[in-house]
Amino acid sequence: DAGVIQSPRHEVTEMGQEVTLRCKPISGHDYLFWYRQTMMRGLELLIYFNNNVPIDDSGMPEDRFSAKMPNASFSTLKIQPSEPRDSAVYFCASSLYRGEGSNQPQHFGDGTRLSIL
Amino acid sequence: AQKVTQAQTEISVVEKEDVTLDCVYETRDTTYYLFWYKQPPSGELVFLIRRNSFDEQNEISGRYSWNFQKSTSSFNFTITASQVVDSAVYFCALSEAMDSNYQLIWGAGTKLIIKP
């Protein structure tokens, strides 16, 4: 079975440019999560979706960050304009809903290593 | 408040030694789930195990084993006869059933170095 697929794997761009990260969750999964990982702050949840609807975006650092999920098989995380402090590894994860309180594991993509110069 | 503590920042052992990674958690919920993830040097996050709070049986999977003890709020992970390929950062995480967001509370991770 295909896992969570993220693209690109690496992105290097200059400050001020728009960056778009892409994610394809595992087929049939109901939840999709976007995380950011840095040495200083560890893993941070940015936003998550349930059935394509954004549920909690309180982790999105600034208005420069936006995320969409137009359908069950695709999500994007966009940074515009990008800044050097946005450099991090961005992970997408998905999980399956199996009933109230069943808390299934999140399965992660390989991540996008983003460097803003 | 929920919290996961992995007190060991880094552990270094020689190949074939056994090693235990500690995980201590805090929660007020009576139903919760604990997870372990592995992040090898290549960077991906790999799910290893999920355990619910009502199942205190130890779990063994090959060289990996997990010891869940509610009395001490711990969910420790042991690797038997370690191998170089086990070198990675290991994360412990908590999810509360009452949290409809199903969010994971992450520990800071333990970096495990297996020397040949």
**Per-residue pLDDT, A101:** 67
**Per-residue pLDDT, B55:** 86
Nearest beta carbon to residue B101 from set A56, A102, A107? A56
Residue A117 has pLDDT above 70, yes or no: yes
pLDDT tens for each residue of B26-54: 998 888 999 999 999 999 999 999 999 98
Of chain B, the percentage scoring pLDDT greater than 70 comes to: 96
Is the Cβ of B95 closer than 8 Å to some Cβ of chain A? Answer: yes
Tokens of A91: 């992970």
Of B24, B52, B9, the C-alpha closest to A104 is: B52
pLDDT tens for each residue of A8-41: 999 999 999 999 999 999 999 999 999 999 999 9
Contacts B37 to A, Cβ<8 Å: 108
Contacts A110 to B, Cβ<8 Å: 42-44
Tokens of A36: 């950011």
Is the Cβ of B109 closer than 8 Å to some Cβ of chain A? Answer: yes
**Per-residue pLDDT, A104:** 86
Of A21, A44, A47, the C-alpha closest to A32 is: A47
User: Can you tell me the distance from the alpha carbon of A33 to that of A91, in angstroms, rounded to the nearest whole number?
Assistant: 8
